[in-house]
Structure 1
Amino acid sequence: MANTNVNENIEQAQQQFASIFVGPARSIAGKMLDYTQKLTNVQREAFDTYSEIGFHQMRSALEIRNSEDLRSYVEEQQEAAKKVGEQMKSDMEKVSSINQEFMQQSQELTQNAMQRGQEAAQQNMDRGQQRLQEVVKEGEKEVDKTAQDAKSTSKK
């Protein structure tokens, strides 16, 4: 009986450990991987966009042959600067959104893990109290039996 209780306790402890720590750790690792991938994609897209703008401007500079081409190039530079500013704003909004999403998901996972931990601790306390009551009852029965045996021995 005692060995069965020990095995049950070990099994339950392993399940609680998996539920409280391992599962959430895997979930957080998955969320971190998704987060990193999203940030990398934003950075890659931004690099592509900025590179395209830069190469276009360099090619335009190579096409300058006269003052009219220079004037067009300067106007194009202003438009390129505006485009870069808009792109930077868009990129920052994307990164901010990704950060907020990750923080929210992380907070939810942490809260869920904490709640499972609290529930497991309460279950363990309840089981411990129940087991203590059982041991006390068993002890009382032993005391009563010993008292009965002592009474019957003293009558003889």
Structure 2
Amino acid sequence: MSNVNFEKATEQFETLFFGPARAYAALTIDYSEKLISAQFEATQAYTDASLKQARALFDIKDADGLRAYVEDQNKVVKELGERFKGDAEKVVAMNQEFVQKGQKMVEDNVKTASKAATQASK
């Protein structure tokens, strides 16, 4: 009889605590992976743009080259501003998705706990 109680307790711990904890940990790891990947891509793009501009600066040989460089700076600033805006929107969307999935997990866990409590009281 005590074996049955131990198995039932183990099953309840798995259903109410360990299972949800593993699911939340997996969600957190997936989110972290996506966030780090997005940050890496953004850093790479900003670094590439900076290095390109540094090389262009060193290629200036005359007034026309300087004028072209300055004109190109406006374009680069605009492109980087748009890139930054897009990157920020991507991170906000990832945050919202993470929160929504976390809330769904909590709701599901509350329902499961409520059912388990109801069954235990019978």
The TM-score by the shorter chain falls in which range? over 0.9
- Pairing 1:13–2:21 present: no
TM-score (norm 1): 0.76
Give the aligned partner of residue 59 of structure 2: 63
Aligned to 1:37: 33
Instruction: Work out whether 1:113 is the aligned partner of 2:98.
Output: no
**CA offset digits 1:99-150 (Å, max 9, x no partner):** 1111111111111111111111111111xxxxxxxxxxxxxxxxxxxxxxxx
Post-superposition shift, 1:48?
Answer: 0.6
Q: Which residue of 2 aligns with 1:52?
A: 48
Give the letter for the 1:39 counterpart. Answer: L
Instruction: State the structure with more CA Rg.
Output: 1
Partner Cα distance (1:78, 1:85) in 2: 11
Select 1:103's aligned residue among 99, 103, 119: 99
- Equivalence for 1:83: 79
How many aligned residue pairs are there? 122
**2: distance between equivalents of 1:48 and 1:10?**
54
With CA pairs under 8 Å and 6+ residues apart, which has the higher RCO, 1 or 2? Answer: 2
Give 1:72's aligned residue: 68
Deviations along 1:66-89, one digit per CA (max 9) or x if unpaired, are 111111000111111001101001
Let me know the Cα RMSD of the aligned residues: 0.9
TM-score by length of 2: 0.96
- Superposed CA deviations along residues 4-58 of structure 1, whole A, max 9, x for unmatched, are 1x33222212101101111111011001000000000100000110001100000
Calculate percent identity across the aligned residue pairs: 38
Residue type matched to 2:59 in 1?
A: E
Paired residue secondary structure (1:121): helix
The SS at the match of 1:64 is coil
Counterpart CA distance in 1 for 2:120 and 2:5 is: 10
